[in-house]
Amino acid sequence: MSLAMLFAPDPAALLWRRSFPGETVQAAAARRFVAALLDGCDLLDDVLLATDEMVVNALRHTKSGSPGGTFTVEIGRREAAIVVGVRDEGGPTEPAVVDADEYAESGRGLRTISTLATGWGWFGNEQARTVTAVFGVSWVTAA
C-alpha cells in the first residue's frame, strides 16, 4: 500500500515520492527533500528527525543499505496531517520498538518516532516494507 492509496479519498491531499540510492550520505538528501516540501510546518523538526530515523533504519537493517540498494521517501500532506513513509527493500527482521540499554549506541529510532509522532506503523514483508509516521500539524502562513 502506498500513501497515494491512503490519501486517495481526499482530492485536496498533496503527495510526493522520491527514491534515493542506498548510501548513508543520502540521509541528508532525504531530510532536505522533506524540509523543502514542508516549509512552514510547526512540527518540521520532529518530522525531519523521524524521517532520518526511518532512513537510517532502512540503510542499517534492510537490503536498501546493500550495494545497489535504494529507499523511497513518501510524503502525504493534508490540512492538519503529515504522513511520512520510508519504503525499503526488505530485510530479515520486522521493525519493532525495543528497550535499548542506557549506554547503547543504537536501538532508539522507533522509540523516538513513537514518542514524536501521533502514530506510526509498518506494512510489508522480507522483500519490501514501508515504515510510516503520522503527525497532526498546523501551518504558519505568511502575512
User: How many whole angstroms separate alpha carbon 54 and alpha carbon 20?
Assistant: 13
pLDDT (mean) for 127-132: 94
Task: Say if CB 19 and CB 33 are below 8 A apart.
Answer: no
pTM value surpassing 0.95: no
So what's the architecture of 3-136 in CATH? 2-Layer Sandwich (3.30)
DSSP 38: T
> Nearest CA to 74 among 133, 24, 26, 125?
133
139 or 91, higher pLDDT: 91
How would you class 37 by CB atoms within 10 Å of its CB: exposed for 0-12, middle for 13-18, buried for 19 or more? middle
Question: CA torsion, points 38, 51, 14, 83, in degrees to nearest 10?
Answer: -120
The residue written with cell numbers 501521533 in the block is 118
Mean pLDDT value across the chain: 85
20 or 105, higher pLDDT: 20
Task: Say if CB 89 and CB 114 are below 8 A apart.
Answer: no
Give domain limits for the chain: 3-136
40-72 pLDDT, tens digit per residue, is 888 999 999 999 999 999 999 999 999 999 999
How would you class 96 by CB atoms within 10 Å of its CB: exposed for 0-12, middle for 13-18, buried for 19 or more? exposed
Residue 108 pLDDT greater than 90, yes or no: no
